[in-house]
Amino acid sequence: MTLPVALSGTDVIGQAKTGTGKTLGFGLPLLERVTVPADVEAGRARPEDLTDAPQALVVVPTRELCTQVTNDLLTAGKVRNVRVTAIYGGRAYEPQVEALKKGVDVVVGTPGRLLDLAGQKKLNLKHVRALVLDEADEMLDLGFLPDVEKIINFLPAKRQTMLFSATMPGAVIGLARRYMSQPTHIRATAPDDEGATVANTTQFVYRAHNMDKPEMVARMLQADGRGLVMVFCRTKRTAADLADQLKQRGFASGAVHGDLGQGAREQALRAFRNGKVDVLVCTDVAARGIDVEGVTHVINYQTPEDEKTYLHRIGRTGRAGAKGTAITLVDWDDIPRWQLINKALDLGLGDPQETYSTSPHLFTDLGIPEGTKGILPRAERTRAGLDAEELEDLGEPGGRGPRGRGGRGGRGNDRPEERETSTRTPRRRRRTRGGTPLDEAAQQPASPAAEGAGEAEAGTAARTPRRRRRMRGGVPAGAPSAAVTAAEPAEAAESAVDTAEGTADAAEASAKPRRRRTRRSAESAAVDTAAAVTPSPAEETAVAVAAPVVTEPEAAPVTEPRRRTRKAAAEAETPAVAAEPAETTEAKPRRARKTAAKAETAVDTAEAVETKPRRTRKTAATTEALDTAEAAPR
């Protein structure tokens, strides 16, 4: 019906049921309107009418439909040698650009890649004479409408526009008239087929539990006379899971959904067409336009979103006069959605019967043999399977291979081998102290009091794991107390007088009430500590300039923390403080300009506690302060 109108150059809106041959309804007029060298030789066209730019453009919603329409047009235009090229995403750019440079007559593509190449000036659309929107209701939906409008802006104003679809709502027709000039609306129906669905398709609807659906599907796939089967799911995750479960049950199944790379999607569809796989689990991406011969059953594993999706799903069977069976499994949560679909299509199946995998009416309705289980017997596993179909390398952008659950050939399979063959040496962590490696720090000159403790630490550093220690002002808590225990044997060996003084002061300090710690008292205690530890004036300078060495904390009496107050700071400056012993807790020395003056103020505060020695510029002044502290009366 559309051929005479379309060949005359008039805009057409064509609507017909699924499986009635709409592709050739717009394909043949397109091929006739294209000017090829054979027309020039026959005298039907002038030589200046020939061009390498596309003369016709077909826009489709999915990649799978794009390849199918391209193959159909190539078959129909083989006699006239019409050049047809598919432009869609998921493939490398370079082969498509090269094909456009060589010259092409008809371009079939998806909106995204068409816009991309047209924006890069790689695709010239100024010579297009005819535009076709296949599955027009989907193309003019909110998702594709902005892209379709941009593509139309690239086209010349004088052209022929044709829209074809099985479902054409009134709102879409009103929208389509914006881009058309006095279109002719053609709707083809058979006299004995007035309903919205195809009369040759038998429909069954069952209310099923979600956890029992895989078992039900496995038993449906063993029905008598069952050929190829398409199972539709609403989500990509469900499609991947169901395909894996059916494969484990012994069925040759494949999956087509958006989480797979284009190579894996085309591999599954090729294997399904060739018969290597007889169960194709897919999302709605394969619900429109896909024409596979021999599909006898369509199973709606999950309820479709609306009545249009339902019509396109079950339209994969019962095509071109063949008979088919459509089965819909409705979960309890989907009952309201199914009732809306039933009302819109007037199916008379508004109250589905509650059904399980063991229900007798399931076996009788679908012709399933009695005693059938959910696992296919080994004797019936005759299909080659998905692995028998070659996975084509499409040079997908970004190197993306098959994705999703268990995608073969994806990037994840190569990573373990790369890690094994890596030549990088593993990074080794080194313990440091004050920015210096631990081995070098142990070789630096240290005070005699800390030599024994340093050797003990160096011996155990290699075999004991690193422990986190509480730090107070950059100095480990309890380190000064441990230094007392470590320094006593060294002091006894060097000087008996100093040892006696240190012991007496330590005993006197334990009997005194605890004092509150201030900054100035801590600094003065650091100077006097060096005096108590140093055995002779000749070694005092070496002690003052030695690198700081922190000994490992050992068992020592733990004193209570001291608080800093202003009162304690005032007491530290008075001469009366000189009679009292210094603190037994740790004190972190810090650099100050008035070190010598503070040392003279605290001449009588000697203690038996060793802290970290520090380097100062005024070494001579510090030495005089230490001599004064030793000569002071106790």
Q: Provide CB contacts within 8 A for 459, sequence distance 6+.
A: none
Mean pLDDT, residues 464-480 taken together: 64
pLDDT at 406: 43
Whole-number pLDDT of residue 579? 39
Same domain assignment for residues 288 and 172: no
Give the other-Cβ count within 10 Å of 520's Cβ.
20
Q: What is the pLDDT of residue 117?
A: 96
Region 241-250: what's the mean pLDDT? 97
Q: Positive or negative CA dihedral for 413, 415, 417, 420?
A: negative
Domain contains 196: no
Answer yes or no: is 146 within a domain: yes
Same domain, 208 and 182: no
Q: Are residues 207 and 184 in the same domain?
A: no
Quickly list DSSP for 601-630.
HTTT---S--------S-HHHHHHHHHHHH
Under the banding of pLDDT at 50, 70 and 90, the label for residue 2 is: confident
Write out the H or E segment, with its range, that includes residue 92: none
In a domain, 430, yes or no: no
Q: Region 144-173: what's the mean pLDDT?
A: 91
489 part of a folded domain: yes
Pair 442, 509 in one domain? yes
Say yes or no to pLDDT of 506 above 50.
Answer: no
End-to-end CA distance of the chain: 124
pLDDT in tens, 103-137: 999 999 999 999 999 999 999 999 999 999 999 98
| Same domain membership, residue 346 and residue 388 | yes
Q: How many domains does the chain have?
A: 3
Do residues 238 and 336 both lie within one domain?
yes
Residue 465 domain-assigned? no
- So what's the pLDDT on residue 192? 67
Residue 11: what pLDDT? 93
At 256 the pLDDT is: 96
**Residue 429 belongs to some domain of the structure:** no
Shared domain for 484 and 375, answered yes or no, is: no
Lowest model confidence (mean pLDDT) among 90-94, 170-174, 305-309, 630-634: 630-634
Q: Is 205 helix (H, G, I), strand (E, B) or coil?
A: strand
**Token couple for 114:** 């068409």
Q: Is residue 511 part of a domain?
A: yes
In this prediction, residue 177 has a pLDDT band, given cuts at 50, 70 and 90, of confident
pLDDT tops 80 at residue 634? no
User: Is residue 106 classed exposed, middle or buried when 0-12, 13-18 and 19+ CB atoms within 10 A define those classes?
Assistant: buried
425 falls within a domain: no
One domain for residues 519 and 603 = yes
Same domain as 481, residue 555: yes
Model pLDDT for residues 606-620, shown as the tens digit of each residue: 443 344 555 555 555
Residues 146 and 52 in one domain: yes
Look at 498 and 1; give whichever has higher pLDDT.
1
CATH number at 362 reads 3.40.50.300
pLDDT of residue 586: 45
Largest CA distance in the chain: 131
Residues 41, 39: Cα–Cα separation, whole Å: 5
| Best CA proximity match to 224, nearest among 361, 321, 323, 365 | 365
**Residue 29 domain boundaries:** 2-188
Q: Which of 133, 154, 188 is the last residue of a domain?
A: 188
The residue from 137, 159, 188 where one domain ends is 188
Q: Between these two residues, 584 and 223, which has the higher pLDDT value?
A: 223
- 399 and 441 together in one domain: no
CA distances from 348 to 185, 203, 283, 340, 394 (A): 29, 11, 26, 12, 46
Based on the fold, state whether residues 205 and 171 are members of the same structural domain.
Answer: no
Residue 464 banded pLDDT, cuts 50, 70, 90: low
**According to the model, what pLDDT value does residue 465 have?**
64
Q: Among 215-229, 257-271, 441-455, which stretch is predicted with the lowest mean pLDDT?
A: 441-455
Residue 334 has pLDDT above 90, yes or no: yes
- How high is the pLDDT of residue 470? 73
Check: CB of residue 634 under 8 Å from CB of residue 502: no
Are 20 and 186 in contact by the 8 Å Cβ rule? The answer is no
Mean pLDDT, residues 88-93: 93
Contact call for residues 265 and 255 (beta carbons, < 8 A) = no
Amino acid at 329: L
Taking residues 568-592, what's their average pLDDT? 46
